[in-house]
Chains A and B, each alone.
Chain A
Amino acid sequence: MINKIFASPAEAVEDIFDGAVVMISGFGEAGSPIELIHALIDQGAKDLTVISNNTGSGHVGLAALIAHRRVKKMICSFPRTANSKVFPELYKNGEIELELVPQGTLAERIRSGGAGIPAFYTPTSVGTPLAEGKETREFKGRSYVMQHALEADFSLVKCKAADRYGNLVYNKTARNFGPIMCTAAKTTIVQAKQILELGDIDPETVVTPGIFVNIVVKVSKPAEESKLVAEDRRYPW
């Protein structure tokens, strides 16, 4: 019998090791798997390379993971937002590495990693500082820059509903990086608001096929990051 449902976020993240490459879904707070990130803080893995669009807000979720010095390197497109305090300070002090990647290139590097394509050429960033030192090549008279795929040891993803096979559906713009990150990790760990019976998700509307998912854990009432930040909450509570 296939059953990818785990009992708790703590059990779900148990195998994440020191030095692991971890993809974390979300665009700002939308789609950020905050309970899985908090479980990872409790678990203690360090020297992580984290691939995520942003660097978290306030002192919860991804920002808390960074604040606890568990992340040695961030690969992201937009490391500062209105409420990001932790990353900017560490970065200014030279205490965390940053690989800045244009957002669409970040998405395509992740998609490629999941699709078995080691590298690709893109017009994005040609002639800018972000293409410096990278191989370029002309196709049909235009310049393109080579970008390498991104793969991870683990992906942490938030979704709306899952079944025990790992089929997933998402909620609105919280989908963002979730589906591609599910494909690009050796082990994909998902927190779902709802666990449904097999067949209750219409096969025509499955967004992430279960083959890309290894572990599902139910978090029926996920915390709202913006509320926690407004209250200046800090994890661990």
Chain B
Amino acid sequence: MVGKEEKKGWSVGQMAQKAALDIPDGSYVNLGIGMPELVAGYVPEGREVIYHTENGLLGMGPTPEEGQEDPELINAGKKYVTAIPGACYFHHADSFTMIRGNHIDICVLGAYQVSGHGDLANWSTGAPGAIPAVGGAMDLVAGDIRIFVISRHTTKEGEPKIVQECTYPLTGKNVVNTIYTDLAIIDVTDKGLFVRELAPGITFDDVQKRTDAKLNQYS
């Protein structure tokens, strides 16, 4: 029965589309590696959004055509990208000035866990013997940039990813603004987690059942 229910909800593309709808025209946006990258494909018509990649490019364009790849034109995930007309390059201190100094408007990230008060864990599972690697994750959440998390609601094993308290090492405390999952859009507020939108065929109780932290409904 649980398996049947899990087939409901939004596809990964629909999750990305939901996040893209919440990005206003004229925004400067940093997209994390993986699922967040899909958001770029769903910018609504009539909006202009500029993508920042923290290795030193503002105005990142789509993947190049085969044969046009340039090993010196890559994104933070070290994948080949292009630069749009009007793009610019800069060094790392300037790039993180854009991030830490709150010049970027929105950052879309993946997550291992998000807590009921918006703590984010997305850099390490803390497993013994793992090689720790952090990259720019902690810098991206350190300022006042709006942080969107896009993630499946539960792990492959069905464990909740939205938890009362993160058990994995934190990336930042009280940093997440909105969570986009296959089941719902959830806002993180001072008064807790509020479900803003449910995926088709999903009830509030379905979502709460798969969430360790307490959820609220907007009245």
Listed stretches A2-10, A28-36, A40-48; interface member: A28-36
New contact pairs (7) apart from A27-B55, A79-B131, A100-B133, CB-CB < 8 Å = A87-B131, A104-B96, A127-B173, A172-B83, A173-B89, A176-B56, A177-B91
Closest-CB distance, B95 to chain A (whole angstroms):
7
Indicate if the CB atoms of B131 and A180 lie closer than 8 Å: no
Indicate if the CB atoms of A173 and B92 lie closer than 8 Å: no
Instruction: Say which residue of A102, A126, A177 sits within 8 Å of B173 (CB atoms).
Output: A126
Q: A42-58 vs B: 1/0 string, CB under 8 Å?
A: 00000000000000000
5 contacts between A and B (CB under 8 A): A77-B135, A103-B136, A172-B70, A173-B56, A177-B92
Check if A140 is an interface residue, CB within 8 A of chain B.
no
- 9 smallest beta-carbon distances between A and B, as pairs: A104-B96, A104-B139, A107-B92, A127-B173, A174-B72, A103-B136, A111-B93, A124-B142, A123-B142
Interface residues on B, range: 35 or more
Asked whether A92 and B129 contact (CB < 8 A) given A107-B96, A127-B170, A172-B73, the answer is: yes
Asked whether A103 and B96 contact (CB < 8 A) given A88-B131, A91-B131, the answer is: yes
Indicate if the CB atoms of B73 and A173 lie closer than 8 Å: yes
B56 contacts across to A, CB distance below 8 A: 27, 173, 175-176
Please report the total number of A residues contacting B with Cβ < 8 Å: 51
CA distance A178 to B142 in the complex (A): 24
CA distance A82 to B143 in the complex (A): 29
Indicate if the CB atoms of A179 and B91 lie closer than 8 Å: yes
A122 contacts across to B, CB distance below 8 A: 100, 142
Q: A80-116 vs B: 1/0 string, CB under 8 Å?
A: 1110000110011000001011111111101100000
Report the tally of A-B residue pairs with Cβ distances under 8 A.
Answer: 140
CA distance A123 to B145 in the complex (A): 13
Check if B34 is an interface residue, CB within 8 A of chain A.
no
Q: B140-155 vs A: 1/0 string, CB under 8 Å?
A: 0011000000000000
Instruction: Say which residue of A80, A129, A180, A207 sits within 8 Å of B92 (CB atoms).
Output: A180
Check if B49 is an interface residue, CB within 8 A of chain A.
no
Q: Which of B78, B99, B135 has the most C-beta atoms of chain A within 10 angstroms of its own C-beta?
A: B78
Asked whether A81 and B78 contact (CB < 8 A) given A122-B142, A172-B83, the answer is: yes
Q: A158-171 vs B: 1/0 string, CB under 8 Å?
A: 00000000000011
Closest-CB distance, A30 to chain B (whole angstroms):
5
Indicate if the CB atoms of A102 and B133 lie closer than 8 Å: no
